[in-house]
């Protein structure tokens, strides 16, 4: 495996216009490749984003009919770069959003190799159903069905563990990915401006530090149709928790070089992955008898 790699985060403000979003992000992806990136990562819902009353209004397609997927497969082959297709709304099995999704789609991330082949698929496990201050409310589960399978994939630079956005708040997922050999953790997101300002940097740095892994977290930015606002600040973080790159608030490309030797160094100094131990937890309300 290669010891070093230049990676990039694409940061965009998606609109309901899928074709326009693809044109913009493909141009950014070419820019990243021209600057030497061999692993290029896009945000959650980068190809289309529209929110109404806290619910997503994004057209879902069958995997073999989503226009963004073949476009990026061809681009990965053209550029000779690996691409993380942050996430796309994909019809659940059965077509037309039916089947296992009960009429809903899944929020699916794809990892493509440098020939455009699909190396891994990951369906977002944790869905963003929250009520924030001042009436800001979101119900991702109204249109999206949750996944149930954690995913780790091999790349030329190390194993990558896949996740999406709200997953970031569930450290047990990242621990499982790291224990399965992940040295890079991907977190494509459309993190809200409200929660991002409070928690985005802290949570991403924590996931890197806890697991001695690189974190690549491309995030959308700006105000979207329907008034939802995303935070930006796409991040590339090393295994010691240092922020190598921060995308700020504007659309664009951020790059950093990963030295994969930093993973072994961090895990050697803080070998917590080797110190995990099983434990039990008393049932709530249970009282042990005095001995």
Helix, strand or coil, per DSSP, at residue 237: strand
- E strands in 163-291: 182-186, 214-217, 221-223, 229-231, 235-237, 243-246, 252-259
Of the residues 44, 91, 140, 183, only one is catalytic, namely 44
Of the residues 48, 165, 183, 219, only one is catalytic, namely 165
199 burial (CB, 10 Å; 0-12 / 13-18 / 19+) is middle
Of the residues 91, 124, 183, 219, only one is catalytic, namely 124
Rounded CA separation 217/8 (Å): 10
DSSP string, 38-66: SEEE--TTTT--BEETTEE----B-GGG-
How close are the terminal C-alpha atoms of the chain, in Å?
56
Confirm whether 165 is a catalytic residue: yes
Confirm whether 9 is a catalytic residue: no
Confirm whether 124 is a catalytic residue: yes
Q: Where in the sequence numbering do the catalytic residues fall?
A: 44, 124, 165
């Amino acid at each position: 495996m290669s010891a070093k790699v230049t990676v990039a985060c694409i940061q965009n403000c998606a609109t309901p216009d899928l074709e326009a979003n693809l044109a913009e992000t493909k141009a950014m992806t070419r820019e990243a490749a021209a600057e030497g990136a061999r692993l290029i990562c896009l945000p959650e819902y980068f190809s289309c984003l529209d929110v109404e009353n806290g619910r997503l209004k994004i057209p879902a397609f069958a995997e073999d009919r989503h226009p963004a997927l073949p476009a990026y497969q061809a681009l990965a082959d053209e550029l000779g770069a690996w691409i993380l297709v942050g996430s796309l709304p994909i019809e659940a099995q059965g077509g037309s959003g039916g089947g296992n999704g009960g009429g809903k789609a899944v929020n699916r991330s794809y990892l493509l190799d440098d020939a455009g082949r699909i190396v891994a698929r990951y369906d977002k496990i944790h869905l963003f159903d929250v009520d924030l201050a001042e009436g800001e409310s979101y119900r991702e589960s109204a249109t999206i069905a949750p996944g149930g399978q954690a995913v780790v994939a091999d790349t030329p630079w190390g194993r990558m563990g896949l996740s999406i956005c709200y997953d970031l708040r569930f450290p047990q997922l990242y621990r499982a990915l790291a224990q399965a050999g992940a040295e890079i953790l991907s977190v494509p997101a459309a993190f809200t401006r409200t929660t991002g300002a409070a928690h985005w940097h802290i949570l991403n740095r924590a996931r890197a530090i806890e697991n001695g892994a690189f974190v690549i977290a491309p995030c959308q930015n700006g105000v979207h149709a329907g008034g939802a606002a995303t935070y930006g600040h796409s991040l590339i973080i090393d295994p010691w928790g240092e922020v190598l790159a921060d995308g700020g608030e504007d659309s664009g490309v951020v790059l950093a070089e990963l030295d994969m030797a930093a993973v072994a160094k961090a895990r050697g100094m803080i070998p917590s992955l080797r110190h995990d131990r099983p434990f039990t937890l008393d049932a709530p309300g249970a009282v042990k008898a005095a001995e």
